[in-house]
Structure 1
Amino acid sequence: MPRHAQLSAYHDVVRAEWVDYNGHLRDAFYMLIFSFAVDALIDEIGLDDSVRKARGRSIYTLEAHIHYLQEIKQGAQVRVEMRALAHDAKRIHLYLEMFADDGDQPVAAGEQMLLHVDTSGPRSAAFDSDVQTRVRSLVDRQAALPVAEYAGRVIALPAQARNHART
């Protein structure tokens, strides 16, 4: 993703407690790292902790998809770059790519559908106008970028394999 159009990157290190019996980052911890990155996005759009508490608002994840592209090991420096693909009055369609060390090829890609929530319900709620303006600005800044490589994929076996399994 071109740096001028992406959201702030999130940085972390693969910790010993996140590694499995194969010496690789456990699948669940890819999601944890993506979740930490979303926390940074929430702050960036104006919903930091003090605003969330004062307004009774938050962001919930409705759906998440992860593509595991390459294994990474303990101690790897990871960077998550985010891109807002679309939004409406209450939701953000977010695309994330994780990179290891100084690599330029993603080790994982993810998508999330985020929902703005009034926590007194909880129930969905339209973004407050200041937050909506920031969200719109993010999407607009990134609109001309090439299609996100792993966005919009679904889990399915090819039709031939599904048909073969029935026989």
Structure 2
Amino acid sequence: MSALTLYRDEVRAEWVDYNGHLRDAFYLLLFSYAVDALIDTIGLDAAERERSRRSVYTLEVHLNYLSELKQGEAVRVDCQLLAHDSKRLHVYFTLHRGDEAEPVAASEQMLLHVDTAQACSAPFDAAVLARVETLAAAHAGLPRPAYAGRVIGLPRRAATEGGQT
């Protein structure tokens, strides 16, 4: 059992910052492309989104930058479905340099299935839910990812008035 590889690319020149590294916003772009691939995988490709007037919106994103990437490096994004219900997907993505095992970034996300005609959440259609459940079963035995469930903040004893430590 392994995470699902959803996206491959290489670090493009226009994605690189003044330090010669992948700009922080483009880490999220790569994860966003993986979300697009995920929704295609569960049966919500462009044709189905148009036909059903259903889509997936991102509710929340946590992103951990673990290592730098440089122009021209090959990258891949893997996905692990952590949980789901009738309307939501709790997913964990890892960005990797080429085929390396260690991630260079991790992103935990909550995605919501939406009826775009009504602009409100909606339960997954039966065929889509079946694909989600198949993916959930395939990922059920995977270990809990290292950066899942993290909270951002300073420990109380380290934070002082005015933000100085």
- Give me the TM-score of the superposition, normalised by structure 2: 0.94
Q: Indicate which of 149, 152, 155 corresponds to 1:152.
A: 149
Q: 1:72 aligns to what?
A: 69
Provide the C-alpha distance between the structure 1 equivalents of 2:47 and 2:53, rounded to a whole number of angstroms: 10
SS in 1 for 2:103: coil
Cα displacement (A) at 1:103: 2.0
1:86 corresponds to 2:91: no
2:99 alignment partner, one of 98, 102, 119: 102
Given the alignment, which residue of 25, 46, 49 partners 1:28?
25
2-side partners of 1:102 and 1:143: how far apart?
A: 23
Any idea what SS the aligned residue of 1:160 has? coil
Partner of 2:47: 50
**Using the alignment, how far apart are the partners of 1:166 and 1:21 within structure 2?**
29
Shift of 1:45: 0.1
What RMSD over aligned residues (CA atoms) do the two structures have, in Å?
1.4
Number of aligned residue pairs: 164
> When you count helix as a share of all residues, which structure comes out higher?
1
In structure 2, stretches of 5+ residues that fail to align are none
Partners of 2:83 and 2:89 within 8 A in 1: yes
Q: Deviations over 1:72-123 (max 9, x none)?
A: 1111100100011000110000100000123221000001100000000211
Q: Deviation per CA, 1:106-153: give whole Å up to 9, x if none.
A: 000001100000000211000001101111111121111111111010
TM superposition shift of 1:65? 0.8
Whole-angstrom CA distance in 2 between matches of 1:113 and 1:40: 15
Q: TM-score, normalised to structure 1's length?
A: 0.93
User: What is the CA distance between 1:166 and its match in structure 2?
Assistant: 7.2
Q: Distance in 1 between matches of 2:3 and 2:99?
A: 17
Q: Does 1:115 align with 2:112?
A: yes
